[in-house]
Amino acid sequence: MAQYKTTIYITIFWIDAFLLTFILSRQYFYQVQDKETAQKEALANAKVSETTQEQLLTLQQENQEVLEQRVQERTLELNIALQELEEVNQELERKNILDELTGLHNRRFYDQKILAEYRRSKRNLTPLSLVVIDIDHFKRVNDDYGHLAGDQCLVWLSGHIKQCLKRNSDLAFRYGGEEFCLILPETDSQGAFSLAESLRENIAKQAFLYQELSLPVTISCGVCTYQQQKGVQPEHIFAGADKALYTAKRSGRNQTQEHRLVEIESEDNQQAIT
């Protein structure tokens, strides 16, 4: 009887051991299977991530190329726009300082330039000369041949004025109507007078041609030179040249006269007396 029980216990033990071994083996199998599945999923996810990163990098590169191309296009467009703006500004500046009819500098630019040259002359202690030019009997040209002839006469004279100026620092202006003005930096009275006389003589030798008509034209010139006389301002220099021009007109026209400035002693005395 005791041997029978022992046999039963042993059998039960082995049965439990077998069942335990089976259960543990099955759990291990599932664990291994789950691990393999997880590894496969992780590997697949890694491949997907790598593919996604490659696609993203490719997209970034493409976007970078597109962006760079667009930046280049916009930069080119901006440069073109800036160039066009610069050309417009230059054209506006040209119109602001040039007389549309004659191509000489205009009165507005004269007002700016004479002040600058006056200051430079005063600072450097160099002479500054003005020549005021007026066409003699210009009204007759307009009255007898029309304003178109008058305009062409102004253009004709402007061409001769440009030719007589040899230095870049010498500037010619259409002051108004048939009156012109020359600013001659670092030019003494003798040099200014000589230039004005040379221009006057050259004009007197040539005739203005209009519609196959040969029209004699002469000019009168007034010269005034600033040499740091006390109290003299830019307006006094022009007034002196204009006074010399009036003297030339009153003395018979077709000539050059000079007005000499003297020091102005007080503010109350606004005229430079010869």
pLDDT in tens, 48-74: 777 878 787 777 777 777 777 887 877
39 DSSP 8-state letter:
H
Residue 121: per-residue pLDDT: 97
Confidence at 216, pLDDT banded by 50, 70, 90 = very high
Name beta bridge partners: 219: 135
**Last residue of one domain, picked from the residues 97, 130, 163:** 97
**Is the per-residue pLDDT at 273 higher than 60?**
no
Q: Which residues are catalytic?
A: 178
Asked if residues 204 and 157 have their Cβ atoms less than 8 Å apart, the reply is no
**Is the per-residue pLDDT at 152 higher than 80?**
yes
Q: What is the pLDDT of residues 153-193, one digit of tens each?
A: 999 999 999 999 999 999 999 999 999 999 999 999 999 99
Q: What pTM value is reported for the model?
A: 0.68
**Is the per-residue pLDDT at 272 higher than 50?**
no
Residue 88 neighbours by CB distance under 10 Å: 10
Rounded to whole angstroms, the Cα distance separating 210 from 150 reads: 10
Confidence at 96, pLDDT banded by 50, 70, 90 = confident
Query: What domain count does the chain have?
Result: 2
157 domain residue, yes or no: yes
Confidence at 91, pLDDT banded by 50, 70, 90 = low
Least confident stretch, 21-25, 175-179, 199-203: 21-25
274 domain residue, yes or no: no
Domain of 216: which CATH number? 3.30.70.270
Query: Do 67 and 22 share a structural domain?
Result: yes
- What's the whole-number average pLDDT of the chain? 86
Rounded to whole angstroms, the Cα distance separating 51 from 43 reads: 12
Q: Quick one: which H or E segment has residue 210?
A: strand 207-210
Rounded to whole angstroms, the Cα distance separating 112 from 108 reads: 7
**Last residue of one domain, picked from the residues 97, 125, 142:** 97
- Domain extent for 76: 1-97
